[in-house]
Amino acid sequence: RGIDGSGVRQGDKLIGIASSGIHSNGFSLVRKICFDHLGLTVDSVVSELEMPLGEALLTPTRIYANAVRNLIKDLPIHGLAHITGGGIPDNILRIIPNSCGVRMFENSWKVPAVFRYLQEAGNVSEPEMRRTFNCGLGMIAVVPEADVQEVLDRLHGMEEQAFLVGEVTALSEPDNRMHWVASDDLKAC
């Protein structure tokens, strides 16, 4: 049983596990926004972040080894995507068959304040944020629909913040395999 995406099928669900912050991606854009554009220093206290900027930017990266090991030992995990460089779209689409698309559920997880701050301060578009940063999701597991609740319960039992964040769909547009839908639109899906 592989976690490389070879078992991913239409109807599978995406479960996101929270990140601890920026992790190690997007620092060129962070530097441009915070230091070049805003003229801040690592000691600058940013009220939106409630801590010095350097502390918010250098929050240690979460390691997912224990959570992943616990999930794959006896649950059907069809794929795992570590959300690193390339952000959410590139990393998820790497493990989704080319014959499928992905529907992501906006507002289905809590986006940490550091990302909202960077977006507003740098006037960064939502698509660019998603391509550059993890936006609060450090790991995404692709699981069969029937196992969603058990996977969520297991992660919550390990004190992980985990959320149902999307689903694998039929491919509707080969050039646009990922679609984002607002929470309000989910009722129609």
pLDDT in the model for residue 189: 32
DSSP designation for 34: I
pLDDT (tens, 9 = 90+) of the chain, 189 residues, equals 567 788 999 999 999 999 999 998 999 999 999 999 999 999 999 999 999 999 999 999 999 999 999 999 999 999 999 999 889 999 999 999 999 999 999 999 999 999 999 999 999 999 999 999 999 999 999 999 999 999 999 999 999 999 999 999 999 888 899 999 986 554 433
Residues pairing with 142 in the sheet: 14, 79
pLDDT in the model for residue 6: 86
pTM of this structure: 0.91
Sequence-distant (6+) residues with CB within 8 A of 65 are: none
pLDDT in the model for residue 186: 47
pLDDT in the model for residue 180: 96
Dihedral, CA of residue 125, residue 61, residue 178 and residue 146, to nearest 10? -140
